[in-house]
Structure 1
């Protein structure tokens, strides 16, 4: 009897492992809580050039003064193209947007904006991912809602769909204005 139980242990262990793997596959990696939001952290310090003008340097003071949606995007990102109509809609509503062009070349980034539109008041050029790293970005697009004091209040991972815009982004902007 004990011998049978010992022989069943590997099978039982395998079944438990399979259960954990199955449950893990059901989790959505885009629904994660940002530590920056949980701790109400200030937008990270940075000094980078703009996408449009390599001589123009900007820093974190760019984010302060009014509620701003900071959107991390790249020309290579198909979901960034899909969300551009929603970002253009936000800009038309008078919501301030700052872009962070991540891991791109100037030529490709500017070409993207020519083709899909430019809702951003400024595009920070982050070819090496320095600012994106400080923000904890692991994939584009990602967006950060920053209040007038420069504190990150909301983090959206992935594509902003029309329903995300209506049900989440606009209410969050209104909350912090």
Structure 2
């Protein structure tokens, strides 16, 4: 029995080495979402442009679109914004979720930097973000014609992310 105790550190080291090796093989940028392949969660929210409006998840029916979670306090959102404007100019429908933000600042942001969104709902309390599983802004979801989330991209949408990840899926869903 005392000889077996000598091997305990070696066994612990082997187990930790396997766990470490497994951890190194994971992609840290890949963040799974429980919402992928499920409908956009139900919501009824006002828009940045019209606080009296009540928009629901029904806006995602009938076309492939992007749902972009953004905020004026988000530095990465400012980086991705010009590319979203380019996508919108190319005819890509983008809907925004102004996440836990000041609406007056959001209006000013969209006026100054151009508005790429078909509309942007105000998620002041973050409930829609919570239902979507948002970790933080920016996050972008690809929504199919039936209003089902088909992909989630965490971080800045730029030309590389569009060309390698989001764009091909967007085009495939559009052509289905």
d(CA) in 2 for partners of 1:148, 1:47 = 20
Which segment drifts farther, 97-106 or 160-169?
160-169
Choose the corresponding residue for 1:151, options 148, 151, 167.
148
Could you say what secondary structure the match of 2:157 adopts?
Answer: coil
Q: CA RMSD in A?
A: 2.2
- Indicate the residue corresponding to 1:92 in structure 2: 89
d(CA) in 1 for partners of 2:29, 2:108 = 28
TM-score, normalised with respect to structure 2: 0.86
- Indicate the residue corresponding to 2:27 in structure 1: 28
2:62 aligned with 1:61, yes or no? no
Q: Which runs of 5+ in 2 are unaligned?
A: none
Which segment drifts farther, 24-33 or 57-66?
24-33
Could you say what secondary structure the match of 2:116 adopts?
Answer: coil
Which segment drifts farther, 75-84 or 18-27?
18-27
**Maintained 8 Å contact 1:86/1:165:** no
Number of residue pairs matched? 174
Could you say what secondary structure the match of 2:48 adopts?
Answer: coil
Q: Residues 137-176 of structure 1 correspond to what in structure 2 (within 5 A)? A: 137-176=134-173
d(CA) in 2 for partners of 1:22, 1:78 = 34
- Indicate the residue corresponding to 2:38 in structure 1: 41
- Indicate the residue corresponding to 1:80 in structure 2: 77
Once the two structures are TM-superposed, the CA of residue 36 in structure 1 deviates from its matched residue by 2.3
Once the two structures are TM-superposed, the CA of residue 30 in structure 1 deviates from its matched residue by 2.8
TM-score, normalised with respect to structure 1: 0.85
Per-residue CA deviations over 1:26-47 (Å, capped at 9, x if unaligned) read 643431333322xx21111100
Change (3 A) 1:18 1:103: farther
Deviating 4+ runs (over 6 angstroms): none
